[in-house]
Structures are given as structure tokens and as C-alpha cells.
Amino acid sequence: MAKILDGKKIAKDIKDELKIQIQEWVKEGYRAPSLCCIIVGDDPASHTYVKNKVLAAQYCGINAETIKFESTITEEFLLDKIKELNESDIVDGILIQLPVPDTMDERKVCNAVSPHKDVDGFHIVNVGQLCLDMKTIVPATALGVVEMIKRSGIETHGRKAVVIGRSKNVGMPIAIMLHTDKKHESGLGMDATVTICHRYTPKNDLEFFCQNADIIISATGIPGLVKANMIKPGATVIDVGITRITDAEGKTKLVGDVDYDEVIKIAGAVTPVPGGVGPMTVAMLMHNTFQAAKNLREKTVKIS
Ligand code: NAD
Ligand code: L34
């Protein structure tokens, strides 16, 4: 049976470490890091995720504020609000929970956030720096996957990895770090040989690539996509996918992309859903917020 990679436990360890580091930082005379989350509309999943982020921030000693807007606000209104937060001396991290309403251009919204305060790592400058293996703010889910692999002692150097899903916010940054040279500036490289699969990868090819992989990372939102016959015995399977389904009794539950009950019989290590990558995303957002606060420290007034 596979080892279960407990994202909740690893995330708690990370938050405990951050809590201590932030306490020390504040003792040095800096004000506590602060995070501002903007949420537009009433998507219940988005509200749950933002609530989890605010709770985690409070736990770590980060001041967190949530600004909620109706889905009817204009893009111009949102951009004005972001500008105000960019200019605020008391905000270190700004996050616009995605998706934003269809009336808005998501890329324009992400690029409106100051790259220094972009704790999601979605700004064009931060994406560019990641692609060039430079030190930068890395998207929290991708960083969470990398951190989980590292903390679980899974070897990636020279190993074969498959990333299923090529979205710019999730699959792509995961694939970037997996294949990058560990010696490069970011320090996040994992030296794996990476195959990226996506919706137009023929099923037979997806199966073939997965069957040969030491590490599979699935980020599609297609429940049951990764089946036991696709797993090499002993492989690591990281399930990023989250889909809400209603079971026979009418109860909603969360499922990943992986056929978990069958895959655990063959894999070497598997992440559950919930309790896997989700909590890691939240923990790494806290890491990014503290990072942004430290980067902005010259601007931060010491309270002595
Ligand atoms: P997306 O819709 O932008 O991308 C989905 C990707 O899956 C696309 O690149 C597409 O090509 C690929 N795909 C679709 N069908 C496929 C198929 N049959 N075979 C192979 N590839 C296929 O979504 P996203 O934002 O990248 O999110 C992906 C999933 O991860 C969703 O379920 C989302 O809810 C979840 N997610 C989880 C976390 C977390 O913290 N756990 C964070 C972000 C996203
Ligand atoms: N801007 N938008 C921006 N940044 C992000 O990093 C996100 N994402 C994704 C959606 N939109 C975003 C998140 O935060 C997904 N995501 C996210 C955050 C938290 C959790 C899952 C995804 C999470 O806490 N998951 C729990 C279960 C939560 C529940 O009960 O619904 C888990 O155990 O997986």
C-alpha cells in the first residue's frame, strides 16, 4: 500500500515554522506582514478557499483582510482598487481570487497587481522570472507540490515525471520547476525529465507516459482520469485536481483526478483529496506573503 502524503500535516509544519519566523521578525521591529484578498462574486468554493487563507494567515501572525465585491462591478473599478492597494504602505500581499467574472480580462487583472505584492506569482514579470529560473514569487499551488515532494524525501533528480494539465497557473509552473536545474538561481529546480500531457494528448499516449513515470502530477479537474493501470509500481502520484461531486445520498464531496482507492494499491506514495495539495496551497501563500513583506522591508517602517 502506498504511503499517504499528508498535505494537512506538512502544511501545519510549514505554518508553525512561519509563525516562529514571523514572531522573530516582528521582534526585530517590523510590523506584521499583511495580506489583502479580493473576491469578486459569490462562488462558494472561492469563498471557502479565501476563508482558509485568512484563517491560516491569522494562525501565522499575518494580518489578513478580505474585500468582497459583487460580480456586477466593472473591471475599471477593480483595477482602481488594486492600484490603491499597490500604493498602500500597510499591504504587503495582494491576491485576487480566481476566477473573476467573465466581464473581466483575467490577465489584465493579474498584471495590475504590483509584482512585489503579487503573492500569487501570476504577474507577467513573476511568471517570466520563474521561466528564467530566477528567484521570484512562485504560484502557491506549484510551490506547494514542490515543497511536498521535497519534504517527503521523494527523489526527482534524473527521474521521469509526467505533469497532466498545462494551465499557466498550475500545470505549467509545476513542470517548470520539475525540469529546472537545481543549481540555478531559484534553488527550486528538481532535475527531472518532464512530459506535459493535456486535453489533446491521445489516451493511449497518456497511459504510456504515465506507465513509465516515477512521478505523476495530475492537475485537470477530471475525476478518475488517473487509473491504477497507468501507475508504475512504487511511483509517486500527486493529485492537484479538485472537483465537487454529489454522491448517491445527495451529499457533496471533493474528489481529485486520481482513482485513489485503486491507485494506493500500486503507487509508492499518493496525496489524498481533500487534505493533500489544497492545504499546501494555503500554506505556501503564507510563505509568499512573508517573502513579499521581507522584500518590501526597506519600505517597511520599523517600530522601535
Ligand atoms: P484548467 O481548466 O485551467 O486546466 C486544466 C488542464 O487539464 C488543461 O491544461 C487541459 O488541457 C487539461 N486536461 C483537460 N482534460 C484532459 C484530459 N482528458 N487529459 C489530459 N489533460 C486534460 O484548470 P487548473 O486551474 O489548472 O486546475 C486544474 C485542477 O486543479 C482543477 O480541478 C482545480 O480545481 C484544481 N486546483 C487545485 C488546487 C489545489 O490547491 N489543490 C489549486 C488550483 C487548482
Ligand atoms: N488567485 N485564485 C488565486 N490564487 C489561488 O491560489 C487560487 N486557488 C485555486 C482557485 N483560485 C485561486 C486556490 O487557492 C484553488 N485554490 C485552493 C485553495 C485552497 C484549497 C483548495 C484550492 C483548500 O483549502 N482545499 C481543501 C478543502 C477545501 C474545501 O473544503 O473545499 C483540501 O483539503 O483540499
Give residue for cell 504511503.
Answer: 3
For residue 87, report the distance from its CA to the centre of ligand 2, in Å.
Answer: 27
Whether 73 and 152 share a structural domain: no
Length of the chain: 304
Residue 298 has pLDDT above 70, yes or no: no
Whether 147 and 103 share a structural domain: no
Say which of 120, 133, 214, 257 is annotated catalytic.
Answer: 120
Pocket test of ligand 1: the residue of 227, 230, 239, 240 to mutate, having most ligand atoms within 8 Å of its CB, is: 240
Whether 264 and 144 share a structural domain: yes
For residue 241, report the distance from its CA to the centre of ligand 1, in Å.
Answer: 6
Residue 301 has pLDDT above 60, yes or no: no
Whether 94 and 143 share a structural domain: no
In the chain, count of helices (H) and strands (E)?
10, 11
Residue 299 has pLDDT above 90, yes or no: no
14: in domain: no
Residue 303 has pLDDT above 60, yes or no: no
5: in domain: no
Whether 108 and 34 share a structural domain: yes
127: in domain: no
257: in domain: yes
Whether 108 and 179 share a structural domain: no
20: in domain: no
Nearest atom of ligand 1 to the alpha carbon of 256: 32
- Give residue 302's pLDDT band: very low, low, confident or very high (50, 70, 90): low
Average predicted confidence (pLDDT) for the chain: 97
Kindly state if the Cβ of 98 falls inside 6 Å of ligand 2: yes
Query: Looking at residue 262, what is its pLDDT?
Result: 98
Is 120 labeled as catalytic in the residue annotation?
Answer: yes
146: in domain: yes
Cβ contact 269:236 at 8 Å: yes
What gap in Å lies between CA 35 and CA 20, rounded to an integer? 18
Average pLDDT value for residue range 137-152: 98
6: in domain: no
Query: Looking at residue 125, what is its pLDDT?
Result: 98
Task: Report percent pLDDT > 70 for the chain.
Answer: 98
Ligand 1 pocket, residues with Cβ under 6 angstroms:
141, 164-167, 169-171, 197-199, 201, 206, 219-222, 225, 240-243, 277-278, 281
| Burial (0-12, 13-18, 19+ Cβ within 10 Å), 213 | buried
Whether 173 and 263 share a structural domain: yes
Buried b (16+ CB within 10 A) or exposed e, 80-105: ebbeebbeeeebbbbbbbbebbeebe
Cis? peptide before 274, omega within 30° of 0: yes
- Quote the number of domains for the chain: 2
Is 302 labeled as catalytic in the residue annotation?
Answer: no
Dmax (CA) of the chain = 64
Whether 257 and 155 share a structural domain: yes
pLDDT, tens only, 71-116: 999 999 999 999 999 999 999 999 999 999 999 999 999 999 999 9
Kindly state if the Cβ of 97 falls inside 6 Å of ligand 2: yes
Average pLDDT value for residue range 26-30: 96
Write the DSSP symbol of residue 71. T
Whether 152 and 268 share a structural domain: yes
Is 129 labeled as catalytic in the residue annotation?
Answer: no
Cβ contact 226:264 at 8 Å: no
pLDDT, tens only, 196-218: 999 999 999 999 999 999 999 99
- Structural domain harbouring 78: 29-114
Whether 183 and 251 share a structural domain: yes
Query: Strand 269-270 to strand 3-4: parallel, antiparallel, or no bridges (unpaired)?
Result: parallel
Average pLDDT value for residue range 159-181: 98
Whether 162 and 50 share a structural domain: no
